[in-house]
């Protein structure tokens, strides 16, 4: 059974939801405190949503220097999967594990509602369970979700197919506002080149079981549960 760590920062508030979704997908999931310095050999790391350190300075800017993040950096460098959801995505960008940054929503308001997205990349650790071009309805809940990057970075992300989730463009028939935050190229989530590190603004853990009204997000967790550590990159427990 795969071991999943959900990192808890002061101000995390989607940690329990993420843990439960990972458990329901058939993994052994446990919390790791931000002051811990070791991931104890876990296979997959989830940085959950919330408001780590009160979003002081910039969202994710201080969490990125939490003691546990050095272990997360090593884990990612060794090819270990990391999923950042919402505040977790912001932390991954601040930690330079993903390019770009997440800025204040263009409309200035905190946006909390369902959005429609397309899964554009399905060869990541976290989206392999979805069929290509799947359309999902996922909740977003953020004030700083506007993805920005240099023109060169945006071109690179598009050329390398690293846009994982994209808000459905305005031309599509949808009851929801297509791009809730003014994100560049309607980007809702991206990955690193190898598809092991993924950051997304929507919250799949909030729609991961029938009791919550929908299961569109469950695929992120069944995907990671199906991931098999490659023999060539053994996941050596850090000190």
Partner 1 sequence: MSYRVHVRVMPRATLLDPQGQAVEHALTALGFGEAGGVRVGRAIELEVAAPSRADAEARVRQMCDKLLANPVTEDYLLQVEEA
Question: Look-up: residue for tokens 């920062």?
Answer: 9
Span of 11-19, 34-42, 99-107, 162-170 interacting with partner 1 by CB under 8 A:
99-107
Cα torsion 8, 104, 56, 138 to 10°: value is: -10
- 3-class secondary structure per residue, 46-89: EECCECHHHHCCCCCCCHHHCHHHHHHHHHHHCCCCEEEECHHH
- Tell me: does residue 138 bind partner 1 (CB under 8 A): no
- Tell me: does residue 112 bind partner 1 (CB under 8 A): no
Judged by CB under 8 A, the number of residues near partner 1 is: 21
Active site residues: 86, 203, 205
Nearest to partner 1 of 44, 61 (CB atom): 61
Site track 166-185 with partner 1 (rule: CB under 8 A), x = hit:
----------------x---
Q: How far apart are CA 71 and CA 235, in angstroms?
A: 12
Compute the least distance from the CB of residue 93 to partner 1, in Å.
8
Structure token pair of residue 129: 């369970």
Handedness of CA 74, 79, 81, 87 (dihedral sign): positive
Nearest to partner 1 of 66, 122 (CB atom): 66
- Tell me: does residue 107 bind partner 1 (CB under 8 A): yes
Structure token pair of residue 179: 């791009």
Q: Which contiguous run of DSSP H or E holds residue 221? A: helix 218-225
Compute the least distance from the CB of residue 101 to partner 1, in Å.
4
Which of 103, 118, 157, 207: binder of partner 1 (CB under 8 A)?
103
Nearest by Cα to 82 from 94, 90, 92: 92
Span of 18-26, 44-52, 97-105, 214-222 interacting with partner 1 by CB under 8 A:
97-105
Residues in touch with partner 1 (CB under 8 A): 57-58, 61-62, 65, 93-94, 99-101, 103-108, 146, 148-150, 182
């Amino acid at each position: 059974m795969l071991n999943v760590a959900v990192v808890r920062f002061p101000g995390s508030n989607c940690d329990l939801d993420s843990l439960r979704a990972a458990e329901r997908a058939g993994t052994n999931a446990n919390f790791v405190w931000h002051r811990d310095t070791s991931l104890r050999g876990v296979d997959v790391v989830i940085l959950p949503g919330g408001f780590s350190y009160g979003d002081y300075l910039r969202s994710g800017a201080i969490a990125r220097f939490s003691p546990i993040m050095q272990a997360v950096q090593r884990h990612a460098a060794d090819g270990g999967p990391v999923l950042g959801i919402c505040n977790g995505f912001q932390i991954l960008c601040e930690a330079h594990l993903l390019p770009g940054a997440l800025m204040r929503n263009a409309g200035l308001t905190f946006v909390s509602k369902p959005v429609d997205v397309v899964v554009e990349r399905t060869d990541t650790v976290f989206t392999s369970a979805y069929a290509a071009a799947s359309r999902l309805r996922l909740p977003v809940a953020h004030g700083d979700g506007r993805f920005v990057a240099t023109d060169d970075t945006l071109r690179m992300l598009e050329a390398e197919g690293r846009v994982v989730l994209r808000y459905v463009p305005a031309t599509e028939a949808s009851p929801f506002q297509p791009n809730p935050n003014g994100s560049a190229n309607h980007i809702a989530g991206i990955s690193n080149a190898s598809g092991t590190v993924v950051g997304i603004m929507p919250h799949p853990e909030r729609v991961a079981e029938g009791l919550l009204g929908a299961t569109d997000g469950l695929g992120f967790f069944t995907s990671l549960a199906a991931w098999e550590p490659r023999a060539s990159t053994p996941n050596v427990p850090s000190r």
